[in-house]
Amino acid sequence: MERFTQFLDQTDHCYIVISPKQPKGEIDAGKIYRQSSFRFPLYKDCRISLPNTNFLKDIILSFQPDIIHLATPFSIGLSGLHIAKKYQIPVVGSYHTDFDQYLKYYHLNFLSKPLWRYMKWFHQPLLRIFVPSSVTYQQLQKRGFTNLQIWQRGVDTKISIAIFPIITFE
């Protein structure tokens, strides 16, 4: 995220980021808002946020983003989706983690069907779902996902976008 926000700063984009609070080591600029979080027991490098929805709403409404980009379908992302729907803010998202593979790895296959139902529900209202590869694109397309687009490296600076944990370009 550090390189990405440096790019946004260098190109004079207006943005904010809302993400999990890290235990230590990350220095944030004033455009990054951290939410309380805890370490995910099955994957130590992943932190799960405990979003304060009223705080998020206040940040988002005062920032007035053109669009919100959801980078996670859980916790902060779910709060972001709720706020975007409630206040009619256009919303896009990225799908970059194959959670189904994690379920297999941790022998939690019985959760696969509910997970895919949730993922479909979560991503259905998004105007666009950015995916990292043609393999991911095809996997999601087979499962009935629409509005998919491969998001190759780089950023189109001619668009106005927000990433949630929220980053907004103007």
Mean pLDDT of 149-162: 62
Q: What pLDDT, in 10s, does the model give residues 83-124? A: 999 999 999 999 988 888 888 888 999 999 999 999 999 999
Domain ranges of the chain: 2-150
Question: What's the confidence (pLDDT) of residue 155?
Answer: 53
Question: What's the confidence (pLDDT) of residue 156?
Answer: 54
- Is a pLDDT exceeding 80 seen at residue 26? no
Residues 6+ apart with CB under 8 A from 49: 19, 20, 21, 35, 36, 37, 75, 76
Question: What's the confidence (pLDDT) of residue 142?
Answer: 96
- Is a pLDDT exceeding 50 seen at residue 168? no
Amino acid at 114: P
Directed axis angle between helix 112-123 and helix 76-86, to 10°?
40
Quote the percentage of the chain above a pLDDT of 90.
Answer: 41
List own/partner pairs for 77-82 with CB under 8 A and 24 or more apart.
77/122, 77/164, 77/165, 78/122, 79/51, 79/53, 80/18, 80/56, 80/164, 80/166, 81/122, 81/125, 82/53
- Is a pLDDT exceeding 60 seen at residue 154? no
CATH 2.40.30.10, applies to 2-150: no
Q: Are strands 47-49 and 37-39 parallel, antiparallel or unpaired?
A: antiparallel
In eight-state DSSP terms, residue 5 is H
- Is a pLDDT exceeding 80 seen at residue 144? yes
Question: What's the confidence (pLDDT) of residue 102?
Answer: 84
Residue with the bigger pLDDT between 94 and 162: it is 94
Mean pLDDT of 126-133: 94
- Predicted structure pTM score: 0.78
Q: By C-alpha distance, which of 158, 136, 160 is closest to 149?
A: 136
In eight-state DSSP terms, residue 125 is T
Question: What's the confidence (pLDDT) of residue 28?
Answer: 58
Q: What pLDDT, in 10s, does the model give residues 27-56? A: 556 687 777 776 777 677 777 778 788 988
Q: What pLDDT, in 10s, does the model give residues 60-85? A: 999 999 889 898 898 889 999 999 99
For residues 125 and 135, give the distance between their C-alpha atoms in angstroms, rounded to a whole number: 22
